[in-house]
Every structure is written in C-alpha cells, then in structure tokens.
Amino acid sequence: MTTAAVRAGIRPASMAQALNRALRDAMAEDPSVHVLGEDVGALGGVFRVTDGLVKEFGEDRCTDTPLAEAGILGTAVGMAMYGLRPVVEMQFDAFAYPSFEQLISHVARMRNRTRGAMPMPLTIRVPYGGGIGGVEHHSDSSEAYYMATPGLHVVTPATVADAYGLLREAIASDDPVVFLEPKRLYWSKAEWDPETPEAVPGIGRAAVRRRGTSATLITYGPSLPVCMEAAEAAAAEGWDLEVVDLRSLVPFDEETVCASVRRTGRAVIVHESTGFGGPGGEIAARITERCFHHLEAPVLRVAGFDIPYPPPMLERHHLPGVDRVLDAVARLQWEAES
C-alpha cells in the first residue's frame, strides 16, 4: 500500500466487495433496480456479492427466488417490461443454461422485435471461468454462447475498479448486459476507494493495461493477471509486451485492439474459453482483416483445450498459464526480423 493511499484512507478491497458496493449504490440511487436470484437474500449469494442488500433494501428489492433459472430470467423480462431494472444473479456459469431460451429468444430480441418500444434494461450477472477447484458444472467459460447472440452486451471486469465501474454501467444501460464475473478474481484485492470510485469510459472500451512495443497480448477477465505476469517474465527475455484488457466482448473495441496490433505487429489472444469456436477466433479474424499489412506473424491463440471442463485436480493443465503464453510469444516468428 502506498503512503498516499494510506493517507486517503484507502483500503484493499476485493472484487466481490466492489461488486457488492456497485449493487448497493445502484439500488440506493434508483428505486427501479431490483436484485433477484437464488440465495441472494439472507445468504448474500454463494460468493457474497449481494451481502447485506436484503437488510438494506428489503425482500421486495432483493428477492430469493425459487430455484429455476428460466423462471428467474423470464420473470425479470416481465419486470423490465413494466419499467423496472432487474439485476439477475445466475449462481454459476453452467447453471445459467436453463435460462438460455429466455435470454436468446426474448431478452436479446425484445427491443428489436418491438422496434424499440420495449427495451430490456436488465443485467444478468454470471460468475464464470475456472481455477477455483470447482467440481463439474462450476467452471465453464460460457462467453462465446453469449457473444453469438445479437442484442446482448457481454462485459467482463478484470480489476477491482472495473468491477465497480462496469457493473454500474451495465445496470444503467438500456440494453441487456451479460455481466461475466471471473470467479477466481472475486477475492483478488486492490487499493480502491469506494467513496470516489473511478469511472469507466462506458461499455465497449478496452483498456491498455501495459504499454509495450514487441507484441500485443489481447485478453479479458480471469486471464488478465496471467498476461500481466507473462509480460513481466517476457521482459527478461527481451520482449516488451503490450497487454490489452478487452473489458467488453460485445461491443468489441476494434479500435483499441487494432491500434495496438498495428503498433506492435504481433498479437496473441489469451482466454480460458475453448479455442475452437471461442472468442479468440473472432478476434483473430478481425485483426487479420484489418491489420494484415502490419502483421509480422500469424495471430496466435492461447485458449482452453477443446474439452469439457476438467475435474479440479486436472484443471491446471487446461487453463492457459504464463508458460503457455510465453511459448506462444516465442512462436511469433522473431527470427525473421534478424
């Protein structure tokens, strides 16, 4: 903790705490914001993100629902039709699947179907990704399913400050936002002042987390710390890596990504989601279409294997780690330069 931070009374906060604060502040500011989901009341959610909300705002604003994800999202659609701003919690990535029909056939299309007369200002919070030692169905990276559905925004924070800022933006958005919370970063901490939270520049803007000149690592959510660590390690090898945190998969910030790749000439996309049909394929295609003449090497992907999510004792072999990222960087045809 820096001296300045101590002077200002800033304490380390976890991502879960920042998310909790974002919900509290949104609910306090706007009476139309309602939280609903499984165990979001007395328990405060299985990750404690809704801790204390029922005490502060009552059961009408923070509601423990029956255990049925399609019902939760379906009733949230009706609440949004009547002008509320529901914030739905799906307990785990894989438990959100029963709600997909509501999501794809209604949430994502209602604005378009009604020519804008019936927008869907709702937020769907989904804890996602692995690395927490979870048993089957608790560690999926489901972002590609959401990305493939027009009408949804797909957002994922990687830092404590972004967790607050992006969730506030998501709740304030007049469009439905699938808000993917990286489970293994819930307890990651940073110095963060809840009284003067940093604003984010709206949904759809990536952040350059590390400036570099040799190559660009493009990542988001749970893989950002991996990429930051890889960039530090790469410096020892003489590679000065730039790290771009997408923050939002939809809308996709092509401008920031392409500007970076045009500068560095090399790109590696890193995510936990499967490589085949995963977000990296779309990003690589866009880079190739738009930055082809700036590229010194093919765009590479470091992704989860194309397998069902492994059991906890084997997940470390599946998840993209620092070594795998560095191996990819090493394959970016550096010899051609000399």
Query: Cβ neighbours of residue 302 under 8 Å, at least 6 residues apart?
Result: 268, 269, 270, 271, 320, 324, 325, 328
> In whole angstroms, how close is the CB of 145 to another protein at the nearest point?
17
Coil, strand or helix at 90: coil
Can you tell me the distance from the alpha carbon of 225 to that of 249, in angstroms, rounded to the nearest whole number? 18
Could you say whether residue 62 binds another protein (CB under 8 A)?
A: no
Could you say whether residue 232 binds another protein (CB under 8 A)?
A: no
Crossing angle for the helix pair 254-264 and 279-291, to the nearest 10 degrees: 60
What backbone torsions phi and psi does residue 303 show, to the nearest 5 degrees? -135, 170
Contact between 35 and 59 under an 8 Å Cβ cutoff? The reply is no
Could you say whether residue 21 binds another protein (CB under 8 A)?
A: no
Could you say whether residue 84 binds another protein (CB under 8 A)?
A: yes
Could you say whether residue 166 binds another protein (CB under 8 A)?
A: no
Residue 89's Cα: distance from chain center in Å? 14
Could you say whether residue 56 binds another protein (CB under 8 A)?
A: no
Encoding tokens for residue 56? 């502060």
Judged by CB under 8 A, how many residues of this single chain contact another protein? 48
Nearer to another protein, 29 or 101 (CB): 101
State which of residues 30, 101, 237, 323 lies at the interface with another protein (CB under 8 A). 101
State which of residues 55, 113, 137, 211 lies at the interface with another protein (CB under 8 A). 113
Can you tell me the distance from the alpha carbon of 115 to that of 155, in angstroms, rounded to the nearest whole number? 24
**Burial environment of residue 203 by CB neighbours within 10 A (0 to 12, 13 to 18, 19 or more):** buried
Q: Count CB neighbours of 269 within 10 A.
A: 29
Can you tell me the distance from the alpha carbon of 81 to that of 208, in angstroms, rounded to the nearest whole number? 37
Give the active site residue among 138, 153, 271, 318: 138
Nearer to another protein, 58 or 298 (CB): 58
Nearer to another protein, 73 or 241 (CB): 73
Could you say whether residue 168 binds another protein (CB under 8 A)?
A: no
Could you say whether residue 117 binds another protein (CB under 8 A)?
A: yes
Contact between 79 and 86 under an 8 Å Cβ cutoff? The reply is yes
Q: Is 271 a catalytic residue?
A: no
Which among 12-20, 39-47, 79-87, 180-188 is the span making contact with another protein, rule CB under 8 A? 79-87
Q: What is the DSSP string of 41-81?
A: STT--TTSTTTTHHHHH-TTTEEEPPS-HHHHHHHHHHHHH
Could you say whether residue 255 binds another protein (CB under 8 A)?
A: yes
Measured CA distances, 196 to 31, 163, 168, 193 (Å): 22, 14, 14, 6
> In whole angstroms, how close is the CB of 108 to another protein at the nearest point?
9
Which among 42-50, 89-97, 108-116, 207-215 is the span making contact with another protein, rule CB under 8 A? 108-116
State which of residues 20, 142, 159, 173 lies at the interface with another protein (CB under 8 A). 173
State which of residues 10, 27, 54, 76 lies at the interface with another protein (CB under 8 A). 76
Could you say whether residue 281 binds another protein (CB under 8 A)?
A: no
For the segment 33-52, give every residue that binds another protein (CB under 8 A).
Answer: 34
Binding positions for another protein, rule: CB under 8 A: 34, 60, 65-66, 68, 70-71, 73-84, 86, 98, 101-102, 105-106, 109-119, 150-151, 153, 173-175, 204, 250-252, 254-255
> Active-site positions?
138
